[in-house]
Amino acid sequence: MAPVATPFFFYLLAATMIIGGILVITRKNAVHSAMALITALLAQSGIYLMLYAPFVAGVQIILYAGGIMVLFLFVIMLISIERTLKERQFNHQWLIGIVAAAALGGLFIAVYTRGKTLFPEGRLTYAEGQNTQAVADLLYGPHTGMYMFSFEIASLLLLVAIIGAVVMAKKRI
Amino acid sequence: MHAMLEISTLHYLVLGAALFLLGVIGVLTRRNVIIVLMSIELILNAVNLNLVALSHYWQGMSVRFGGGPGALHGQVFAIFIITDAAAEAAVGLGILIAFFRNKETVNVDEVNLLKW
């Protein structure tokens, strides 16, 4: 079966992501920014599917677009934003910030034009395999599970984050 | 000509770099804390995109040169980064709610209680 990873889909998803990113950093209303970010994240999960990473694509949709963005929207709802809409949206250092980002962009361009011979031309193809099973083998496998300890640390991190968020947001402890 | 149109690993890396730059500009120039946090999410997503693209590259290479099973370490790292992003968003938004309760604003310029 011919892969569907055509250049057209790549450019469509990439354009959606870039336009979504630009809208995130330029919109006045935080809700509009959140909506643009959700669009960009969904387009990114499409890119993950093109990269033969279906498990990461599913996690992206469920956790990012479904979980983290709902958290953002809830906080936007709890915080009154009427006053922020009338204020200036960009700080005094915006010019310096853009110059710094342009310097970083120049660095990226220099690195990628010099290093582009490292990567082979054209699309990489291979049998799709059992992606989710292979990821699970790396995480929990009895012989190949080299990330098991990191996984436990990640669960501890989430526990600390839950406690921290509750303590921070509570009025009186 | 046909090979030029095909999407290589470099295309994904350039897309990740563009998203990273958009996130950096958002963090450095915006005043609204919520949008700064969203820009940090953009940066983390750019890193994830790079990791998954390089994982794809390693899998393709190991098949091309008859190596073992494809290296999926990049995808596992991407999952860990998504976990970190969830923790960061929860703690950041908790801090934001505490800050809003004290100062009635979400402006980064007014977060200066620890300034000397």
Q: Dump pLDDT digits (tens) for A4-28.
A: 557 888 999 999 999 999 999 999 8
Q: What is the per-residue pLDDT across B35-85, written as a single tens digit (0 to 9) for each?
A: 999 999 999 999 999 999 999 888 887 766 655 555 788 899 999 999 999
Domain ranges of chain A: 1-87, 129-173
Chain A's closest residue to B28, CA to CA, is A97
| Spatial contact of B77 and B93, defined as CB atoms under 8 Å apart | no
The two structure tokens encoding residue A127: 């049998």
Chain B partners within 8 Å of A25 (Cβ): 22-23, 25-26, 29-30, 35, 39, 42
From residue B45, alpha-carbon distances to A21, A32, A99, A165, B81 in Å are 11, 19, 23, 22, 9
| CA nearest neighbour of A34 among B77, B34, B114 | B34
pLDDT score, position B69: 56
pLDDT score, position B5: 65
Kindly tell me the burial class for residue B93, based on how many C-beta atoms sit within 10 Å of its own C-beta (0-12, 13-18, 19 or more): buried
For A129, the 3-state DSSP assignment is coil
For residue B32, what are the β-bridge partners? B107
Number of inter-chain CB pairs under 8 A, A vs B: 250
Q: Give the position of tokens 């190596």.
A: B67
| Spatial contact of A89 and A28, defined as CB atoms under 8 Å apart | yes
Candidates B6, B61, B89; nearest CB to A122: B6
pLDDT score, position A98: 92
Stretch A130-143: mean pLDDT, rounded? Answer: 85
Question: Cβ–Cβ of A112/B19 closer than 8 Å?
Answer: no
Fold of A1-87: Four Helix Bundle (Hemerythrin (Met), subunit A) (1.20.120)
Question: Cβ–Cβ of A30/B35 closer than 8 Å?
Answer: yes
Candidates A91, A101, A135; nearest CB to B109: A91
For residue B30, what are the β-bridge partners? A90
Cα separation, B82 vs B76, in Å, equals: 10
Candidates B52, B64, B97; nearest CB to A75: B97
Question: Cβ–Cβ of A168/B94 closer than 8 Å?
Answer: yes
Chain B partners within 8 Å of A96 (Cβ): 28
What number is the ipTM of this complex? 0.89
Question: Cβ–Cβ of A157/B95 closer than 8 Å?
Answer: no
Cα separation, A103 vs B52, in Å, equals: 25
Domain ranges of chain B: 9-107
From residue B53, alpha-carbon distances to A93, B33, B41, B48, B95 in Å are 34, 30, 18, 8, 34
Chain B partners within 8 Å of A60 (Cβ): 48, 82
Q: What is the per-residue pLDDT across A30-60, written as a single tens digit (0 to 9) for each?
A: 899 999 999 999 999 999 998 889 999 999 9
pTM of the model: 0.89
Fold of B9-107: Helix Hairpins (1.10.287)
HSE, side-chain direction, 13 A CA sphere, residue A41: 29
Candidates A51, A112, A166; nearest CB to B56: A51
